């Protein structure tokens, strides 16, 4: 299972929200690059980088942060937030993103995302399936669509996607445990799905439980910044699971 630390950016700083509420923003570090270097120094290989201003406003705002992290670390970066056009996608890749997460745009413009899939292939794209009471939410989680999570994911699996980041918004930033029931339901009938859990991780025990449940990855944000999960514990988890 991939361990993927998260950096969410507003005005160039590392922040975390609670349940996607921008009014509950808490800043943890003024320099995202230094935080990324800390992750890399503890043996982590991946990074989930989100431009929260881009997600909310519909256009990339913090591309310079992506460029700095990609240019000064060896982390494999998936980037999201504000990707609405082919120019946005190209800019993210040119700035150093290894993968781009398609969230709001996948809900609003499936034909555009299909064209990206044909051009870049499924290795370069991740589907963002953010769930609010079982429905897909978009635009920094400020809007809820009429799309149910399972059928939404199925529609993209049929097009060739295989990686999906699924966040239960009610749990995000709450340190109350991941949405195990949702993830188990999604995995039960979708054997080809590489499902990445996001939101709610509160302890290293949650990480082991997600691994046992068959998740392909786990994004960890607030638990790292608050010290509920340590980088050393994640390093030991990777050593144990990689050896087994």
Give, to the nearest 10 degrees, the angle between helix 63-72 and helix 32-41: 30
Cβ–Cβ under 8 Å, residues 206 and 235: no
Half-sphere exposure of 181 (CA within 13 A, CB side): 4
CA 142 to each of CA 18, 136, 148: distance values in angstroms, whole numbers, following the listed order: 13, 11, 16
CA dist 221 and 77 (Å) reads: 15
Catalytic residue among 8, 88, 172, 206: 8
Calculate ∠ Cα 135-4-184, nearest 5°. 45
DSSP assignment of 168-203 equals ETTTTTS-S---HHHHHHHHHT-TT-EEEEES---S
Catalytic residue among 51, 78, 88, 130: 130
Q: Closest Cα to residue 94, out of 63, 62, 120?
A: 63
Structural Rg of the chain based on CA atoms: 16
**Catalytic annotation present for 8:** yes
Residues with catalytic roles? 8, 130
């Amino acid at each position: 299972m991939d361990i993927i630390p998260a950096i969410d950016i507003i005005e160039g700083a590392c922040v975390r929200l609670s349940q996607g509420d921008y009014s509950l923003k808490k800043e943890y570090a003024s320099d995202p690059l230094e935080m990324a270097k800390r992750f890399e120094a503890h043996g982590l290989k991946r990074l989930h980088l989100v431009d929260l201003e881009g997600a909310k406003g519909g256009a990339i705002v913090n591309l310079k942060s992506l460029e700095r992290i990609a240019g000064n670390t060896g982390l494999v970066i998936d980037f999201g937030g504000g990707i609405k056009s082919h120019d946005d996608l190209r800019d993210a890749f040119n700035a150093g993103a290894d993968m781009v997460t398609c969230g709001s745009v996948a809900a609003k413009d499936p034909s555009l995302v299909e064209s990206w899939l044909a051009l870049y292939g499924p290795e370069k794209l991740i589907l963002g399936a953010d769930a609010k009471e079982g429905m897909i939410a978009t635009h920094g989680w400020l809007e809820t669509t009429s799309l149910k999570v399972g059928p939404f994911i199925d529609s993209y699996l049929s097009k060739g996607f295989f990686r999906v980041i699924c966040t239960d918004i009610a749990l995000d930033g709450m340190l109350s445990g991941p949405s195990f029931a949702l993830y188990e339901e999604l995995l039960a009938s979708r054997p080809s799905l590489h499902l990445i859990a996001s939101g709610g991780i509160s302890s290293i025990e949650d990480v082991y439980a997600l691994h046992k449940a068959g998740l392909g990855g786990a994004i960890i944000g607030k638990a790292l910044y608050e010290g509920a999960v340590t980088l050393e514990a994640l390093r030991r988890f990777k050593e144990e699971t990689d050896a087994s």
